[in-house]
Amino acid sequence: MRIATWNVNSIGARLPRLIPWLEETAPDIVALQETKCAAGAFPYLPVQALGYEALAAGDGRWNGVAILSKLGITDPVVDLPGHPEARLASARCGLLHVTSVYVPNGRSVDDPHYTYKLDWLATLCAGLDSVDPAEPRVIMGDFNVAPTDDDVWDIKAFAGSTHVTPAERAAVQALLDWGLIDLPARPGKGEHPFSYWDYRAGMFHKDLGMRIDLVLATKSVRVSDAYVDREARKGKLPSDHAPVVVDIDL
């Protein structure tokens, strides 16, 4: 069984790349982020034609998350208590419980959005209190947090920045402490499995990226392979994120 997460940076703009990618990669379940698409405007028909049921949450202009599943979608949830933005979609897909997250960016450490980011992550973690960590579950998406210094191209360039602060890392660590494992993925190039590269300044071609798209899974999810699909970041009109693809058994 194959699962994947991909911040597509607008599903409308990316559909011409998403559809062939789904055909070639053939994941059973995909978590999408930054669809930038109202739930009612989601391209259900093109993904249904490939055998996927879709659960979409969307504000319209910003944010937006979705789950595509060939294994069914039951118990859908598309909000996080007290946080109205469309940044979470959750459902049971066959035997696996799946959550797609688009964690707030934070902007800068002195911005109210940074506090909002920490609160959002804490609320996500608190929601797991009523969940059994023995059950097969994945929480995957754009966490906007680089868990370790090796997850950015140069930690010195991030002095004073978001994505690398102890508080953000502690918020992700709390999820791991609950019972999730940050699945290590093979890099597409170089030593680091970066999943995001800024569009500007040739960052992608210099492999100056960040690992901020994470697949967190409970231990009953057995992993046979995991990789960053760097090919999907190449070529014409890519997203600024690459998909992370994970092959699993339950």
Q: What SS3 class is residue 35?
A: coil
Q: How far is the CB of 36 from DNA (least distance, A)?
A: 4
**Residues 117-136 vs DNA: string with x where CB under 7 A?**
--------------------
Q: How far is the CB of 70 from DNA (least distance, A)?
A: 25
Is the Cβ–Cβ distance between 124 and 80 less than 8 Å? yes
| Alpha-carbon span 119 to 196, nearest angstrom | 23
Contact between 49 and DNA by CB under 7 A: the answer reads: no
Instruction: Kindly determine how many residues on this chain lie close enough to bind DNA according to the rule CB under 7 A.
Output: 23
The encoded tokens of residue 41 equal 């405007």
Q: How far is the CB of 34 from DNA (least distance, A)?
A: 7
Is the Cβ–Cβ distance between 57 and 83 less than 8 Å? no
| Residue from 61, 205, 222, 234 in contact with DNA (CB under 7 A) | 61
Could you tell me where the beta strands, DSSP code E, fall in the chain?
A: 2-7, 29-33, 53-57, 65-69, 74-77, 88-93, 96-102, 137-142, 180-182, 213-218, 222-228, 244-249
Estimate to the nearest angstrom the gap between the alpha carbon of 245 and the chain centroid: 11
Is the Cβ–Cβ distance between 7 and 214 less than 8 Å? no
Q: How far is the CB of 2 from DNA (least distance, A)?
A: 26
* Nearer to DNA (CB atom), residue 93 or residue 171: 171
| Phi, psi for 127 (deg, rounded to 5) | -65, -15
| Residue from 206, 219, 222, 234 in contact with DNA (CB under 7 A) | 206
Q: How far is the CB of 202 from DNA (least distance, A)?
A: 6
Stretch that binds DNA, among 58-66, 88-96, 121-129, 166-174 (CB under 7 A): 58-66
- Name the residue among 87, 50, 56 with its Cα closest to residue 73: 56
**Residues 148-187 vs DNA: string with x where CB under 7 A?**
------x--x------------------------------
Stretch that binds DNA, among 126-134, 201-209, 223-231, 242-250 (CB under 7 A): 201-209
- Name the residue among 52, 68, 72, 28 with its Cα closest to residue 249: 28
* Nearer to DNA (CB atom), residue 61 or residue 222: 61
Contact between 36 and DNA by CB under 7 A: the answer reads: yes
What residue ranges bind DNA (CB under 7 A)?
9-10, 12-14, 36, 60-62, 104-105, 107, 113, 154, 157, 199-203, 206, 208, 237
